[in-house]
Amino acid sequence: MVAGWETCLSVPGYAASVERPAAVDVRYERLDGTAVERRLRGFEARVFQHELDHLDGILFTDKADPRSLVHESYLLGDGPDSEAVCASLRQLAPEYEEEEYEESAGEGPRGP
State yes or no: is 100 an active-site residue. no
Given 19, 37, 51, 97, which residue is catalytic? 51
Bridge partners, 40 (sequence order): 24
User: Is 29 in a helix, a strand, or coil?
Assistant: strand
Which of the residues are catalytic? Answer: 51
